[in-house]
Structure 1
Amino acid sequence: MKRDLAMAFSRVTEGAALAGYKWLGRGDKNAADGAAVEVMRSLLNKTDISGEIVIGEGEIDDAPMLYIGENVGLGGDAVDIAVDPIEGTRMTAMGQSNALAVLAAGEKGSFLKAPDMYMEKLVVGPGAKGHIDLDKPLAENLQNIAKSTRQEPGYANRNYSS
């Protein structure tokens, strides 16, 4: 991916995170999500891409959303985009930490167009490369990550569920 697109996408997630932050601890997860969605959509529509949202979340939980199939951007490289403007809306509304603004992009056709459903996620850094097996239990993967990164197993095994 081009460096300028990576920087633009970084600004998009930063904008969404800052918009959601204004609602931190105010008890209204839909308002937080709506603010993040609005900013994410606006910034994506100012980006030099021909983007299509192929993975989102709003359909599942009646939240504000960027729609699956929604086209974004000013024109340019054709990209598929997966978004969650706030992963952790309840945590944001309750004033808790560890919410994220999420955006992943790839060449057109490079993402699995999966049905709208909740999935378990495992995100790791480069030190875990080659040490993850998605067919193994999470606890075993966490042990392998701890060994490969020379961390205590409990360091990676914190419960951040929303």
Structure 2
Amino acid sequence: MSTQEWGTTVVSGHRRAEGREAVAAVDPGGPDHTLALELVRVTEAAAIAAGRWAGRGERGSGRLAATGAMRELIMSVPMRGVVVVGEQEATPALAKGEGVGYGDGPACDVGIGVGDAALSSARDVPHSLAAIAVAERGALFDPSAVRSMQKLAVGPDCAGVVDIRLPVVENLRAVATAKDVPVTDVVVGVLNRPWHADLVHEIRRAGARVHPLEGGDLAGAVAVARPESRVDVVVGTGGAAEGVLAAAALSCLGGSLQVRLRPEGAGRGDRGEVLHTGDLVRGGSVLFCATGVTGSELLTGVEHRPGRIATQSIVLCSRPRSVRMVRSERADTGWREQRAEPTRASS
């Protein structure tokens, strides 16, 4: 059995955003901070399982391996969880509606993500984060009927000054004013996809800098609320499931996520409903854990050293509001797990 050694843990707090971006306080019987360090074991295992497939050119294998590792460990977590944001695209495991946890502890909604930053086999990055969000039962928005989301994510210092319904240039000016910098110093994260060509042109025409988000927008959306991040704001259209996970993280950090929904079957010009952080995650007790698979704006990736594996994770709690950066090392059990082909679900 591998051993695990907890490394440096840095804890800092953030002020709760005021107004409609604030998360409403509800019954305190939901998940608490003691559950968070149980969950980080789950994201670590998923990240390590996925990381073993990076660089091997077998698209989807890392995602399947991560889902299997996550499911095995999450069943031992002391909670009565139901998956609301799941992985049904890759495998029936951890799909919407599945019960997780060993049936004791708080009743929770669970969101999981092991597919963020999925790229083509040519780029060969299975995903950048393995993530879990947990909130009170009924708190997480169900994204299953939504094809995608147009997103606008900012940190606590800009939570009350942006509006997704406004032109991007106006929001960039508002961000610059809130940060007391010129627009030319504002760095905008945009998912690097063909459909964002016009948006990138608009951002650059406004004078701001574009930071391409290569794999997925979850890491970038969370990073905007971290003081050391080089990304000030994230805009553009991405996955609906990642939007709910990002909202959970930002609700713990005091940041803001605004989204415009694009339901299944919506046309290109359809302008969907606008939701805010508190609409996507309604509970007052929220946890978010993520471990890096490959390096991203938020976390470093899994590092293989002689006989050891190192990971970096972020653990966020809304009550009490806290941020923990966890550096973990464990013994490497060798190549046996890496050489085992993930079992694909039969159709």
TM score, norm. by length of structure 2: 0.40
**Structure whose alpha-carbon radius of gyration is higher:** 2
Asked if the contact 1:55/1:82 (under 8 Å) is kept, the reply is yes
Corresponding residue for residue 88 of structure 1: 117
Q: Which residue of 2 aligns with 1:160?
A: 213
**Paired letter, 2:97:** G
Bigger relative contact order (CA 8 A; separation at least 6): 2
Structure 1: how far apart are the matches of 2:94 and 2:169?
33
Describe the SS at the equivalent of 1:34: helix
- 1:69, 1:99 → 2: CA distance? 25
1:36 aligns with 2:66: yes
Matches within 5 A, 1:89-104: 89-90=118-119, 94-96=123-125, 99-104=128-133
Deviation at 1:41, TM superposition (A): 0.9
Cα distance, 1:126 vs. partner? 3.3
Specify the SS of the correspondent of 2:81.
Answer: strand
Match of 1:58 among 88, 91, 105: 88
Matched, 1:113 2:142: yes
Residues in 2 aligned to 1:150 and 1:144: alpha-carbon distance in whole angstroms:
10
TM-score (norm 1): 0.78
Gaps of 5+ in 1: none
Q: Is the 8 A contact 2:43 2:132 kept in 1?
A: yes
Q: CA deviation at 1:120?
A: 4.1
**Separation in 2 of the partners of 1:129 and 1:49?**
32
Superposition deviation, residue 32 in structure 1: 0.4
**Distance in structure 2 (CA, Å) of the matches to 1:92 and 1:43:** 28
2:159 match: 129
The Cα shift of 1:3 comes to: 1.1
Higher mean alpha-carbon deviation, 50-59 vs 131-140, is at 131-140
- TM superposition shift of 1:149: 4.4
Larger strand proportion, structure 1 or 2? 2
Would you tell me which structure has more helix in proportion to its own residues?
1
- Residues 116 and 3 from structure 1, CA distance in 2 versus in 1: closer, same or farther, beyond 3 angstroms? same
Report the CA distance shift for 1:23/1:98 in structure 2 as closer, same or farther (over 3 A).
closer
* Aligned counterparts of 1:86 and 1:130: Cα–Cα separation in 2: 31
